[in-house]
Amino acid sequence: MSEEPLLISDVQARTVRELRRLAPVTDELGRRFAAAGHEIALVGGPVRDAMLGRLQQDLDFTTSATPAQTERLVKGWADAVWDIGRAFGTIGCRKGEWQVEITTYRSEAYDAESRKPAVQYGDSLVADLERRDFTVNAMALSLPGEQLEDPFGGVVDLAEKRLRTPGTPESSFSDDPLRMMRAARFSAQLGFTVDPAVVAAMTDMAERITIVSAERVRDELVKLLLSPDPVRGLRLLVETGLAEHVLPELPALALERDEHHRHKDVYEHTLTVLEQAVGLEDRLGGAPDLVSRLAALMHDVGKPRTRRFLDDGSVTFHHHDVVGAKLTRKRLQALRFSRDQVDAVAQLVEQHLRFHGYGSGEWTDSAVRRYVRDAGDQLERLHVLTRADCTTRNRRKAERLRRTYDDLETRIARLAEEEELASIRPDLDGNQIMEVLGVGPGREVGEAYRHLLELRLDHGPMSEAEAVAALRAWAGTRG
């Protein structure tokens, strides 16, 4: 992202252009709330994004009205209304393409041991803005009339691409420690520089992140990882010590350098692999892919546990793929990722070294089939991770690895076309096995199925007659 500051005139022009799109929502809401004697303002992220020319479909408003009053005012105007956030002062609704949340002026804070904010209603727009995370999110457009409210200099900070807090960073992070992670996320999303005072407070208060629920930490980490420049945000988490509490496997990769034992900087290697995986996402459809990015981030986390120095000065990390998969599973489960996500990422971490057994293309067709079978529905992501994992500066070596993997993918494509490789099954199904062997359901059928599958992997497809003969021969050896 460009580091050039924005011009105030550019910010104003973008804001006017984006606000025209919002008129069907903002004009009517402004009239309704004003007529009922309440204040209402577009607030936070939508105002910031309007100024950046990147307005999304989700709109946040703040109001002096209570949730019950807000609900009455939007009924009959909104296409749908829901109150799932009522406990936090929020009423949600949908109007055409827009998803709208309207929240009563409020303040919220954690006590020393709490994992959930205690919500208190406020009584003014300025007080509501003051308790927000950063000045670029502490701007509002009062309705009706679209009067900009910017008591903390958010427009200037946005133009200069700078993240500051409305009050002191210490006060802001005491109110909600998750804002420390949010600083890293906005840096990654928007390319903004984090103010030195904010970085200092993040460093001093890093341990306070531990009072925030795992689910909220996970959601913030996901937003960071799916941002345009996740490495920028991750570096800030490591430098401030936040990563020690939310993703300790990452700073652990910065292994101690020993002048007598030269080896690759695993931390920097990991960040490069993540960058390269992001650059290969067009192979996965082009959109940010969370599983692929998590796999790139975690693929070497087993190295600190498996590092061994040899007498010749070299270093080994034997079985770091297996150890890393276990560590990955444990960390992602602690962060409350879904079972499918945990399984997919752990599988990729465990298999990320498999390609290196391919050598210069010596694998048999049987080995290629097993590679595809074991990768399953993660094959395309495994292609991305394996290619991204090449970070050598030796051009000749890098080109050789690229050509070798090209060759493997070509062989996979050829076998897939010939054999329906993505759905490898034995040439006889369970019913056919029972009919040939004259047995009912049981352990013998499963063993026969696995035997035929191994034959299929080793030798490719067989005709039904060949498969029957092979099955009878196997059964004969078992008496």
Per-residue pLDDT of the chain (479 residues; tens, 9 = 90+): 445 565 666 666 677 777 778 888 999 999 999 999 999 999 999 999 988 888 888 999 999 999 999 999 999 999 999 998 898 899 999 999 999 999 999 865 555 555 555 567 778 999 999 989 999 999 999 998 888 899 999 999 998 999 999 999 999 999 899 999 999 999 999 999 999 999 999 999 999 999 999 999 999 999 999 999 999 999 999 999 999 999 999 999 987 554 444 455 899 999 999 999 999 999 999 999 999 999 999 999 999 988 888 877 778 888 899 999 999 999 999 999 999 999 999 999 999 999 988 877 788 888 898 899 899 899 999 999 999 999 888 899 999 999 999 999 999 988 877 666 555 777 788 888 888 888 888 888 888 888 888 888 777 788 888 888 888 888 888 86
User: What are residue 43's DSSP bridge partners?
Assistant: 140
One DSSP character per residue, 59-76 reads EEEEESS-HHHHHHHHTT
What is the per-residue pLDDT for 116? 58
User: Could you give the domains of the chain?
Assistant: 1-160 (3.30.460.10), 282-423 (no CATH), 430-477 (no CATH)
> Hey, what long-range contacts does 198-203 have (CB within 8 A, 24 or more apart)?
198/163, 198/164, 198/165, 198/169, 199/236, 199/239, 199/240, 200/169, 201/168, 201/169, 201/170, 201/172, 201/173, 202/169, 202/173, 202/236, 202/240, 202/241, 202/242, 203/239, 203/240, 203/241
